[in-house]
A and B are shown apart, each in its own frame.
Chain A
């Protein structure tokens, strides 16, 4: 196995709110090896997006990041200067956002926005940069790419804009690509296309990818490893096959039960639901944050819950050995 391109150790993100600090991300650790796809899954508000923004140093002003270790290709990002982070961002680590409709600047052409990062990081000429942009637009499946360069974002559909965003992220040939729910805002038919495109590009270019999603169906198909987040913590992490075959944490089990399976799920029948709601993340949180919704909850769940691990690197944060 190759070395880790991204190491995250004890990452926390706190957001200042009028009612006190909101612990959006609580002491999470994971790592991504080069060429590997890690999927971060969890429901809305569990801290997935905050995690990705924290890695890219793009958190909003009200949020503060703390980490024992946050390293990219062995380099400590926590100690890096803003200038150094800027030279890595867009060059060796790139990001795709949730909202293709607003993520592009309406005042500039697609071409202008594609070439600027390339020209920023490589001392390339305008012509070289445009050539690379045309090549990548073709690669992400955009027809008549050369003409697209002169168009403005408002002239493109959501699916096309997300393809442009992907091409833009790939301009400098990054080692790490973070995709924060890249298909949530798109039509269902387009979603599948974009995800297949991302998975193909990831495999072809050998990029490490962190894909953030709440769609477990996608995860099963394209992830090497999966990390399940709940209330700001990673409650279970492991190789995709192992995690789906043998989910250890009751929350993971609950999520998997929510996916309809052709042949097994009765048409018109009820899908699984997880009762209750996510707890408030403001103030101090003790014990297992899932215990209010968990059918296996016991008194000891209110105390600090140990993290267990198997030999193949499957970890979970629960008092149980197995959710089933």
Chain B
């Protein structure tokens, strides 16, 4: 198990390295850093001076190795727009995004597990169809549109929740719902399919033959086995959540990493973009690893070899 984890960590390192290289070169293709620093309509002499000062006149590969070396030492550079240390900037915003990620995930599981179980237990009944309808709407509705509907209902009409900002926990409610509902359908369908399969398993009949009450048969014997693939999906969905948070945080002006990513793209803030992409990809790789470990732990056939 330890060897397996170490091997996976090594692999994660390689992935992070590859991502850093790809983003570095892609970002350089997307625009001129010197122009971003100097601003539109800068003189050629100024641009040349900036290129010389920042070392942008060197070959791209040299620049990348230099950037990588600095980054590995914890020196992430200075934001071109905010004029502050990138590490400071990112660390300030990270907690907001992590909180939003987990509350959204929690919300998604909170609605998808009961709905998925109900849909499976009452398969092909009106309950199943209602759950399906809820899932289809969640999947078909673009999350920014759903977010705007929430704002209209809860902030403008009912005046219960603040429209935007990130001051209090109230500010997190609508982003959580909007983002959670966006990833819930995938969970729901997986739980429904898993439960339907597991409920027809021989060991469920054994459990019923023992005279166990229905709730014990469903939640102890069936759900435990149906939930294993859900753990694997969680990592993938967290990736979606991180991506979705760029849109949702921007709509609600929730001051997190997603909003910062949006701002850095708008202002061509290369050092910030570079670090955010790297950070998100590392997070994603670590989450995948965590889900693999959780999976191994949940399935005794892997755990107790």
Q: A interface vs B, CB < 8 Å?
A: 56, 58, 85-91, 94-95, 97, 99, 102-109, 116-117, 120-121, 151-152, 154-155, 165, 168
Residue of A nearest to B227 (CB): A107
Q: Which residues from chain B contact A165 at a C-beta distance below 8 Å? A: 206
Q: How far is the CA of A90 from the CA of B208 in the complex (A)?
A: 8
How many angstroms between the C-alpha atoms of A168 and B299 in the bound complex?
Answer: 23
What are 26 residue pairs bridging A and B, where the CB atoms are less than 8 Å apart in the complex? A56-B209, A58-B209, A86-B211, A86-B212, A86-B213, A87-B211, A90-B212, A97-B202, A97-B205, A103-B202, A104-B203, A105-B224, A106-B225, A106-B300, A106-B301, A107-B221, A107-B299, A107-B300, A108-B221, A108-B224, A117-B210, A120-B211, A151-B304, A154-B300, A154-B301, A168-B206
Please, how many angstroms separate the alpha-carbon atoms of A108 and B206 in the complex?
13
**Contact assessment for A58 and B300 in the assembled complex, using a CB-CB cutoff below 8 Å:** no
B201 at the interface (CB under 8 A from A): yes
Which chain A residue has the least Cβ–Cβ distance from B303? Answer: A152
Which residues of chain A come closer than 8 Å to B209, judged between CB atoms? 56, 58, 89-90, 94-95, 97
Residues from chain B with a CB closer than 8 A to the CB of A104 are: 203, 206
- Chain B nearest CB from A170 CB (Å) reads 12
> Taking the nearest CB of chain B, how far is it from the CB of A67, in angstroms?
19
Residue B207 lies at the interface, judged by CB distance under 8 Å to chain A: yes
Which residues from A are CB-within-8-Å of B216? 116, 120
Instruction: Give bound CA distance, A58 to B301, whole Å.
Output: 28
Q: Give every chain B residue within 8 A of A99 (Cβ-Cβ).
A: 202
A126 CB, min distance to chain B CBs, angstroms = 15
Asked whether, in the complex, the Cβ of A120 is within 8 Å of the Cβ of B212, the reply is: yes
Chain A contacts for B224, CB-based, 8 A = 105, 107-108
Q: A9 CA to B181 CA in the complex, in Å? A: 54
Assembled-state Cα–Cα distance A165/B206 (Å) = 9
Find out whether the CB atom of A106 lies under 8 angstroms from the CB atom of B211. no
Count residues of chain B with CB under 8 A from any CB of chain A.
21
- In the bound complex, how far is the Cα of B202 from the Cα of A104, in angstroms? 8
Q: 6 tightest CB-CB pairs across the interface, nearest first?
A: A90-B211, A90-B210, A89-B211, A117-B210, A102-B202, A105-B203
Q: Please give, as numbers and ranges, the residues of chain B lying within 8 Å of A91 by CB-CB distance.
A: 211
Name B211-235 residues within 8 Å CB distance of A.
211-213, 216, 221, 224-225
> How long is the Cα–Cα vector from A116 to B206 in the complex, in angstroms?
12
Q: Are A117 and B203 in contact (CB under 8 A)?
A: no
The complex places the Cα of A89 from the Cα of B208 at a distance, in Å, of 8
B208 and chain A: residue at smallest CB distance: A58
Interface positions, chain B 132-172, Cβ under 8 Å from A, are none
Chain B residues with CB under 8 Å of A90's CB are: 209-212
CB within 8 A of A120: which of B210, B221, B304? B210
CA distance A95 to B202 in the complex (A): 12
Q: Which residue of A lies closest to B221 (CB)?
A: A105
Structural contact, B211 and A105, CB atoms closer than 8 A: no
Q: Which residues of B have CB within 8 Å of A168? A: 206, 210
Smallest distance from the beta carbon of A7 to chain B beta carbons, Å? Answer: 20
Which of A56, A86, A104 has the most chain B CB atoms inside 10 A of its CB? A86
- Asked if B301 and A152 make an inter-chain contact with CB atoms under 8 angstroms apart, the answer reads yes
A171 to chain B minimum Cβ distance, whole angstroms, is: 8
B210, A97: Cβ atoms closer than 8 Å: no
Q: Which residues of A contact B201 (CB under 8 A)?
A: 102
Q: Are A116 and B212 in contact (CB under 8 A)?
A: yes
Known contacts A97-B202, A102-B202, A107-B224; is A116 also within 8 Å of B210 by CB?
yes
Interface centre among B209, B298, B300, B301 (most CB of A within 10 A): B209
CA distance A86 to B216 in the complex (A): 12
| Contact A89 B304, CB 8 Å, known A97-B205, A102-B203, A107-B299 | no
